[in-house]
Amino acid sequence: RAKEAGRNRVAYFNSELEAQALKRLEIDRAVLRRSPLDAIEILLQPQLPICAKTHLPRFEVLARWRSEDGTLIMPGDFIPAAERNGLIQAVTKAVFRIAIRLLSQRFNQGGGEVRLAINVSAADLESTDFVFQLLKDLHAADIPPELIEIEITESMLLRMTVGVKSALRALNHAGILLSLDDFGTGFSSMAYLRELPIDSLKIDRDFVRGIETVHDRNLIAGMIAMAHSLGKEVIAEGVETPRQLEQLAALGCDWGQGYFWSSPIPPDQTFAEFG
């Protein structure tokens, strides 16, 4: 019996792995079949002031991949696929193109200023062309660099090279804002905080989920105190309940983002409701 159970476990494990490999293959195929310029769509998720005094509306840009058959692939699946297939720079380019067009349209229609936070990958910052091209595109569209924030993750910084560091410094120098995403989940948060011109920290939603425990609340309090003492802002990710918001407000958290206010939704809808 024990032997049989063991065998079942192995069989289950194998079919699980097979299913994963198959899914990966399918996503690779979907990503290779279309140009990012045709496939990428963006949603916006609002960031709301909790204790922040400035009220410039802010939104995070979250990408989706529209397959040929109309199905939508989430970034957790297609970003790694784009990275393994050498397409990530084309994806980022497509995201920026849509974001810049969105801001231009908004200004042409007399809309007020908003800030868009855009996620990038390490490979983007390793290309020497990235910063130059972005600044050129913003200039051509007459968009102040201060309206663009770039989100980098700790995990991507594991590959932090001299090139990546100088790209981040150049972006910061040009007035583009930088935020450290998923803060607290990596291994080297402190080193990055020390070495890079970071404007804000995004506290990962794992901590926010645990905020009602003394342990996680104290961790969040520590992160906020540290960020503020360094002159940086804090954005809490994954705020879902009034209770979490209340706790974050009591701890002096500057901004919040999460399903409590809104999930990521199409830009026209986000602007109509939040900005």
Torsions phi, psi of 196, nearest 5? -115, 150
Least separation in angstroms between residue 117's CB and ligand C2E is 8
When the beta carbons of 63 and 81 are compared against ligand C2E, the nearer one is: 63
Q: Based on the shown chain and the rule CB under 6 A, indicate whether residue 74 belongs to the binding site for ligand C2E.
A: yes
Determine the size of the site formed for Mg ion (CB under 5 A): 5
Residue 192 exposure: Cα atoms within 13 Å on the Cβ side:
30
CB of 8 to ligand C2E, least distance (A): 33
**Pattern 104-143, ligand C2E, x by CB under 6 A:** ---------------xxx----------------------
Distances (CA, A) of 50 to 55, 239, 252: 10, 11, 8
Cα distance between residue 66 and residue 41, in whole Å: 7
93 binds ligand C2E (CB under 6 A): no
Among 30, 44, 95, 125, binds ligand C2E (CB under 6 A): 95
> How far is C-alpha 235 from the geometric centre of its chain's CA atoms?
12
Q: Which residue has the tokens 């994963």?
A: 20
d(CA 13, CA 7): 10
DSSP structural state of residue 268: H
124 binds Mg ion (CB under 5 A): no
Tokens 């919040």 map to which residue?
256
Query: What are the residues binding Mg ion (CB under 5 A)?
Result: 119, 151, 181-182, 237
Query: What are the residues binding ligand C2E (CB under 6 A)?
Result: 45, 62-63, 74-76, 79, 95, 119-121, 151, 181-182, 205, 237-240, 258-259, 264
